[in-house]
Structure formats: structure tokens, C-alpha cells
Amino acid sequence: MGMNPFLAPSPADLVLVKAEELAEHPDANARIGAVLHLTGAVPDLAGLREYVTAHLDGLPCLTHVLTGNGPTARWMPADPDMTRHVRAQHAGGDPEALETAVCHALREPWPEEAPAWRMILLHGHVPDGFALLYLSHHAVQDGANIVAVLDALFGPRALPHQLPAPARDASRPPRAGLRQTARSTVSLLRHARQHRLWQSASHPLSSRRHLLWAQAPSAGLRAAARDGGASINDVYLTAVVHAITQWAKDAWPRATGTTIPVMVPVNVRTPDEVAVPGNRLFLSRIDLPGGTMPVERRLARTRAVTSVLKSAGHKTVLRAALTRLPRRLLQLLVDASTVPGRLTICASYLVVRQPLHYGEAAVHRIDPIMCCPPGVPLAVVAATYEETTSVSFRIDTALPGADSLPERWRQAVTELTRSAPPPQGSTP
């Protein structure tokens, strides 16, 4: 059997398998994915299975399984069984029933010795549409791969002349210079201290999770970003931390008046690695401004903190750490970053740029789903699709009153939007 053309599973992948094994409740497993909301007639299940089967070519993350552990871990080919991987379910008679069905699906075990993904056609919760729930194991797919799979399955089919030109020598990413390596190393070490912000004797963290969503118009986030000279991701992170500081005033005093450490995944996937199994991200910690302040000032300070994550040179160093460090060193780095005193909030941001559809049914909203492993108090992921940005909150139920965070996030976005002037040429 020939060698796979992609990297073997790394400690960054295997730590997610280990975390799931340590979970005391299936809420804290390592499933990620998305709910696609479509308008149109409920499709035929057999047709959906045939359609997905026809699109598997070029999506190796759907046709490989992770076997072994440690240095012996490998990606091995495995054919999906469409009767198990793609199925239909009547969700019930109201929108709340959809959330119940999603939560139930998140707790289901994966089929043995089969690729760790599934798609469920959910219907009955709305009179004029349906939903497609896509789930995968985070050890096999990261957020960028989730987007790649959705684009490949439901995006417009590009003609040959519309395909992007192959990246020049994409298999050999540039090497970082010594100066950039030193700067990046100093930044990583500076953020490696233990903070113990989420360790509490009165409210010990658990493996039970809330799954909540909040939506906001993407135009408002774009306006706030434009006015603040920031990115939409900066606006999203600012609103997340603003919500946390408001909640912490009464519920978690340890998080008041101090910076809020946040783990942000930096995508280091190269063009030739699209849809290959495994994570191509580096979890980087940044300390975002906490305390009480106007949300506009928080955005300005957040923009200054996140600037290092946008540096191409810094990303090159992170890519090298993930793919070129000796395995033992990378294992030590992963182990050190996942001790309880260092675990903290995780916040991801995804953009789906192409309009998606299945047959004549158009996707009108995408609700992302993030995992929240044991020891992580809160994991948040935002997905911008067309005119809506939807945010998924996976929250440890041990955090008192934290189910208020989605509404607090919406309020923070509203404040930022209210302070942003309309674009030139627009009317009040």
C-alpha cells in the first residue's frame, strides 16, 4: 500500500481524542460541524446519499480513519457506509425541536472503524424548509476543513477556467527567518504562564454543556470593523470578551479587572492540504482587555492585541512548529498548553464565501457547532454566511448564569454597530 500524501496524525490531533476519552459526559466530546438551514421541499434521502457519494472524490477527510496512537497513529483509507453516514430524521413540529435533535445527534457515538462524520437530513420543524446537520470529529477535521467540505458538497461547481491557479511550490511553505522566529517564540512564551482564571472550588468545571446560538446582521459587524480600522474577527472577539466581562461582574469575580486569556486557532493549512484529514491550525493564546470600559475602546485595544496573529511571518513560524518540530517536542508543547491552569476560552471565526444550495433549495443560514473539551469553560465559534453571522456557544453548565452570554454578545454587537457611522453615500 502506498504512503498517504498527507501528514501523519500529530499530537495536536491526538490530544482531541484523549480529551474525549477523559470526558465524564458526552456533552464534552470532540464533535464539530454546522447546521445548514435551507428553504425548499424536503429532498429524497436516497438522492442525498447518491449525491454525497458522488462528491467524495477529493475529500479524503471523509474517506479516512485515524488508527493507532502516539507515534504509530496513521490515517487509513475507509469507505463510508452511506446508510449510516447519511440519514433522515423528523425533528418535530417547531424550531425548538431542531435544537433538541442536534443535541441528541452530538451525543451519538461514531460507527466503529468508519470515517468519523455524519450528515442528518432534519425536517418537520418548519413548514417550508429543512436542515442538513453535518458533524465530524475535531481530530479529523478543523474549521477550515468543515468549510471546505460544505463548499465541495453544496457550493457552485467551478468551471476549469474558474479554478484558482495552483500555488507555487505549495508543498514547500516558506521558512521563517531567525528574527521572526525569535519574535514569535518570545510571544508564545509570554503567553504560556498559568492563569488559573477558571479554577474555582465553589464552581468546579464539569463535562456538561449548554449549546446556544446567537445571530447578528453581518452588515453591522462590517460597519463596526470599518469604523474601528479592525477586522470582523476583531469585532466578534471584542463582543465575546465584552459579554464575558459583563457576566463576570456578578457571576465570576476572578474574571473582573483582569485580562481575559483566549485561545484563537490560527489557520496554517496550505492550498494543497484542503480537505486532507487532521488539524492544520495552531492554538495561540492572546490576552484580551478585560475590566469595565466602553466597547469602542475595547475594540481598539483588541485590534492591537490581535495584530500579531495576522502576520504572515508569525503564521510561518506556527506552521513550522506544527509540522517540523520533532514529535517529542511538539508533544511537550501540547501537554504544557492543556494543563488545567492554562486551559481557557476558545474562540474561532469562519467565513463561508460561496452561496450554498442542494438542488433547488438554497441555504439561507449556517449555524456553526464547536466542541468544548473537559477543562475548557467556554468555546465559541462564529460563521459569517451571506448577510448573517451566527455564533455558537458551548458553555460549561458549572458557570453560573453563563447562559446569558449569547444575549450579552448580541448587546455588545448592537453597541458597536450603533457607534459606527453609516458608509458614505448611505441614507439614514
CATH for 31:
3.30.559.10
Residue type, 240: V
Question: Are the C-beta atoms of 143 and 265 separated by less than 8 Å?
Answer: yes
125 located within any domain: yes
219 located within any domain: yes
The total of structural domains in the chain comes to: 2
Q: How far apart are CA 261 and CA 259, in angstroms?
A: 6
Q: Is 378 helix (H, G, I), strand (E, B) or coil?
A: strand
Question: In CATH, what number is assigned to the domain containing residue 286?
Answer: 3.30.559.30
Write b or e for each residue in 268-298: b if 16 or more Cβ atoms lie within 10 A of its Cβ, otherwise e: bbeeebbbbbbbbbbbbbbbbbbeeeebbeb
Q: Are residues 234 and 97 in the same domain?
A: no
pTM reported for the whole predicted model? 0.92
Q: Are residues 190 and 149 in the same domain?
A: no
Measuring CA to CA, which residue among 197, 196, 288 is closest to residue 239?
288
Residue 422: the pLDDT is 59
Question: Are the C-beta atoms of 80 and 14 separated by less than 8 Å?
Answer: no
Residue 172: the pLDDT is 56
Q: How far apart are CA 413 and CA 295, in angstroms?
A: 9
1 located within any domain: no
Q: Are residues 187 and 134 in the same domain?
A: no
Q: How far apart are CA 75 and CA 6, in angstroms?
A: 9
Question: Are the C-beta atoms of 142 and 276 separated by less than 8 Å?
Answer: no
Q: What is the pLDDT along the chain (428 residues), one digit of tens a residue?
A: 445 678 899 999 999 999 999 999 999 999 999 999 999 999 999 999 999 999 999 999 999 999 999 999 999 999 999 999 999 999 987 778 999 999 999 999 998 889 999 999 999 999 999 999 999 999 999 999 999 999 999 999 744 433 344 444 444 556 767 777 877 777 777 777 889 999 999 999 999 999 999 999 999 999 999 999 999 999 999 999 999 999 999 999 999 989 999 999 999 999 989 999 999 999 999 999 999 999 999 999 999 999 988 888 889 998 988 888 899 989 988 988 899 899 999 999 999 999 999 999 999 999 999 999 999 999 999 999 999 999 999 999 999 999 999 999 999 999 999 876 655 543 33
Among 122, 155, 188, identify where a domain stops.
Answer: 155
Across the strands, what pairs with 91?
Answer: none
Q: Are residues 147 and 267 in the same domain?
A: no
Q: Are residues 300 and 405 in the same domain?
A: yes
Q: Are residues 151 and 215 in the same domain?
A: no
Tell me 177's DSSP state: P
Q: Are residues 131 and 187 in the same domain?
A: no
Q: Are residues 144 and 205 in the same domain?
A: no
Q: How far apart are CA 185 and CA 284, in angstroms?
A: 11
Q: Are residues 265 and 388 in the same domain?
A: yes
* Residue 178: count of CB within 10 angstroms of its CB: 7
Q: How far apart are CA 352 and CA 362, in angstroms?
A: 14
Q: Are residues 117 and 197 in the same domain?
A: no
Q: Are residues 284 and 394 in the same domain?
A: yes
Q: How far apart are CA 12 and CA 164, in angstroms?
A: 29
Contacts of 193 (CB under 8 A, 6+ apart): none
Q: How far apart are CA 317 and CA 322, in angstroms?
A: 9
Q: How far apart are CA 140 and CA 14, in angstroms?
A: 9
- H or E, element range at 134: strand 129-137
Residue 421: the pLDDT is 63
368 located within any domain: no
Q: Are residues 241 and 343 in the same domain?
A: yes
The range of the structural domain enclosing residue 80 comes to 11-155
5 located within any domain: no
* Residue 195: count of CB within 10 angstroms of its CB: 18
Among 120, 155, 190, identify where a domain stops.
Answer: 155
